[in-house]
Homo-oligomer: A and B are copies of this chain.
Amino acid sequence: MATSSGPEIGYADYLRLDKILDAQDLQSTKFGREAHDEMLFIVIHQAYELWFKQILHELDRVQANFANTPLDDSRLGQILHSLLRVHEILKLLVHQIDILETMTPQDFLEFRDLLTSGSGFQSLQFRLVETRLGLSPEHRLLYDGTGVHSRLKSDERDALVAAEQTQSLVEQLDAWLSRTPFVKAGSFAFSEAYRTAVLDFLTKDIKTLSAHEGLDAEQREAETRALEKAKESFKALFEPEAYEGAWRMSPEAVQAALFITVYRDRPVLHMPSRLLATLMDIDEAMTLWRYRHALMVERMIGVKIGTGGSSGHEYLRKTAEKHRIFTDLFHLSTYLIPRSALPELPAHVERMMKFVYAEEPAE
């Protein structure tokens, strides 16, 4: 390929198709009982690994950006761009299951016994994606008392441990959010103003309920209990001692996330609020992928033990819930209040959130 700066290189060489298209070693062929669908099984898993590599490549950039303290606003565009791409990729990975499901259980059976101990559990890259996003070892669901490490080769295990010891995206996010100016600026403290507003709102809600004919006693109670509980977790945000366990991120980070959410119309919060929404999209897409994967496995092997001794669909289904990462962001919605009830921001805070040029009108 003649390039302005380099030697000839053609399509096939550039993409290293010699490697890519020569990497499908069907076990069934090796053992003299070719199973047509083993090709699909291999190809789709290789496609998954290619995409995992791309996701890790995006996380490299995102985390490198977040590693800058303070984070220059100019980096936010690139961070959001990479995360939106990760979300697009995850949506494709969910879609890919449609193709795997064109394999019938009977066809899978033709080569399943050749894979008894290899399984997705052993995908180092997927473990790295989870870990770098913020799934810590202690949050991982054990399988038969053993963790994922036992299923990896030693060099893979080292790579995973190294990742576990590095700051994860959720930790970087926490640090970045905690530094958010505006939340506490001079005489203004969002936490105080907002705290009262939310508690009043929840209290009003409870009153409304008691006067609610539409609900039977049982329901009314249930709703009341839930609202009371919500009140407690919210208070915890402002009481360090009560905080433990109520939230995963630090109180400062949660408060900042709330601030960004409710005042998202301000210019300076446009990108941060999109960032938070995209992280929820990613969490949701990962969860969905796990759930669909579980359904697919159930369909493929029924109640049997999965390849590699995985307990199959039940375990996988549990991870869909248990392995979520940005749950705090999902729970914020409990503590939102109508715009009309939002504390007004002092002029000096509003000003900080505008662009310089707007201060010196160009028109």
Binds B, one of A166-174, A237-245, A248-256, A335-343: A335-343
Closest CB-CB distance, A273 to chain B, in whole Å? 7
What separation, in Å, do the CA atoms of A91 and B91 have in the docked complex?
13
Answer yes or no: A259 CB below 8 A from chain B CBs: no
Answer yes or no: A146 CB below 8 A from chain B CBs: yes
Chain A positions 299 through 340: 1 when the CB is less than 8 Å from some CB of chain B, otherwise 0: 111111100110100000100010000000011111111111
Whether A181 and B47, one on each chain, are in contact in the complex, defined by CB atoms closer than 8 angstroms, is: no
Whether B16 and A25, one on each chain, are in contact in the complex, defined by CB atoms closer than 8 angstroms, is: yes
Task: List B contacts of A85 (CB < 8 A).
Answer: 40, 99, 102
Binds B, one of A108-116, A133-141, A189-197: A108-116
Instruction: Known A266-B74, A336-B105, A356-B351; judge A113-B3 contact (CB<8 A).
Output: yes
Closest CB-CB distance, A196 to chain B, in whole Å? 18
Within 8 A of B (CB), among A251-310: 261-262, 264-268, 270-271, 273, 277, 280-281, 284, 287-288, 291-292, 295, 298-305, 308-309
Residue in contact with A223 in the complex, picked from B1, B22, B268, B305, CB distance below 8 Å: B305
CB-nearest residue of chain B relative to A77? Answer: B270
Whether B309 and A223, one on each chain, are in contact in the complex, defined by CB atoms closer than 8 angstroms, is: yes
Whether A54 and B39, one on each chain, are in contact in the complex, defined by CB atoms closer than 8 angstroms, is: yes
Task: List B contacts of A340 (CB < 8 A).
Answer: 33
Residue in contact with A2 in the complex, picked from B9, B212, B261, CB distance below 8 Å: B212
What separation, in Å, do the CA atoms of A104 and B295 have in the docked complex?
29
What separation, in Å, do the CA atoms of A15 and B338 have in the docked complex?
23
Task: List B contacts of A11 (CB < 8 A).
Answer: 118-123, 308
What separation, in Å, do the CA atoms of A6 and B268 have in the docked complex?
37
Task: List B contacts of A115 (CB < 8 A).
Answer: 1, 3, 14
Closest CB-CB distance, A316 to chain B, in whole Å? 13
Closest CB-CB distance, A327 to chain B, in whole Å? 9
Residue in contact with A31 in the complex, picked from B6, B113, B218, CB distance below 8 Å: B6
Answer yes or no: A27 CB below 8 A from chain B CBs: yes
Instruction: Known A6-B30, A119-B11; judge A357-B102 contact (CB<8 A).
Output: no
Closest CB-CB distance, A251 to chain B, in whole Å? 17
Instruction: Known A47-B50, A88-B98, A333-B299; judge A219-B309 contact (CB<8 A).
Output: yes
A11-B121, A33-B340, A356-B356 given. 9 additional CB < 8 A pairs? A2-B117, A14-B115, A47-B50, A73-B354, A113-B208, A226-B311, A230-B302, A268-B357, A303-B331
